[in-house]
Amino acid sequence: MLTVKDIHKSFGNLEVLKGIDFTVNKGDVIAVLGASGSGKTTLLRCMNFLEKADGGTLTFDTEEFELAKMRKKDIHRLRKKTAFVFQNYNLFRNMTALQNVTVGLTVARKMDKSAAEEIGLKMLDKVGLLDRKDHYPNELSGGQQRVAIARALATDPEIIFFDEPTSALDPELIGEVLSVMKDLAEEGMTMVVVTHELNFAANVAKKVIFMEDGKILESNTAEEFFKSPKEERTKEFLRIINRE
């Protein structure tokens, strides 16, 4: 469904992505692991054009694009097929939970308001926050990330990108978000998840990509990755993480 080839990205002199290839198939749940600064988040952002890659190609279904030379029109069209969940939620501060979930439908897709609200309420119900529909983000305390997930779901995306969705959460809230994500995975949603949650990677993800220093060091099924990691560096990473 989505293939990227040879993505390169530098910020000034710092080369963050040094040629990345990878493919997302329909129904895949891919966990992207790696130490801080390995380029995971940048990779995700390049795939949704939040960062402009310096080189490489992206193929969505049958269309191929040069990442460095994409037209705004194509970016806009491709973004409508995907959704993005941010580490710090980025809920629209001037909208209620329900408006946050429906704005992608009513404004971006010109959907009728009542039809959009019906979908919005369904999505809020799915993440367990129906009773908070009229709350503004600053009144949602723990529920922000789940509203953000409902917002991502509302537009019926083909892929959802998650950028460290639990990293900004209090420990007691991480479980709620992960369980919502697990449900999505079981429903067959295609997901690419940059995460530090090894349990999620081990139990929910189907594939694991391990990044280091701007490259993919190891790519495997989740089971293989945790049972018998191939690379020395991967073993070390798992050892360190497990000790923590």
Partner 1 sequence: MAEFFIETLKFSERLVTIFFDSFGKILLPGIKVTIPLTLISFSISLVIAVATALVQYAHVPVLRHIARFYIWVVRGTPLLVQLFLIFFGLPKLGILLDPFPAAIIVFSLNTGAYDAENIRAAIEAVPKGQIEAGYCVGMSYMQIIFHVVLPQALRTAFPPLSNSLISLVKDTSLAANITVVEMFMATQRINSRVYEPLLLYAEVALIYLIFCTVLTKVQTIWERHLRVLD
Residues that bind partner 1 (CB under 8 A): 48-50, 76, 79-80, 82-84, 86, 88, 90-94, 103-104, 107-109, 136-138, 151-152, 155
Closer to partner 1 by CB, 138 or 228: give it: 138
CB of 50 to partner 1, least distance (A): 5
Of the pair 105, 216, the CB lying nearest partner 1 is at 105
Q: b vs e for 54-68, b when ≥16 Cβ sit within 10 Å of the residue's Cβ?
A: ebbbbebeeeebebe
Distances (CA, A) of 78 to 12, 74, 147, 180, 219: 27, 6, 23, 25, 25
**How many CA atoms lie less than 13 Å away from 237 in the CB half-sphere?**
23
Q: Minimum CB separation from partner 1 for residue 25, in Å? A: 22
Beta bridge partners of 64: 59
80/215 with CB nearer partner 1? 80
Please give the Cα distance from 213 to 47 (Å, whole number). 18
Instruction: Using alpha carbons, select from 88, 200, 84 the residue that is nearest to residue 144.
Output: 88
In the bound complex, what is the minimum distance in angstroms from residue 138's beta carbon to partner 1?
5
Nearer to partner 1, 56 or 157 (CB): 157
Question: CB 94 → partner 1: shortest distance, Å?
Answer: 4
Residue number with CB closer to partner 1 (34 or 157): 157
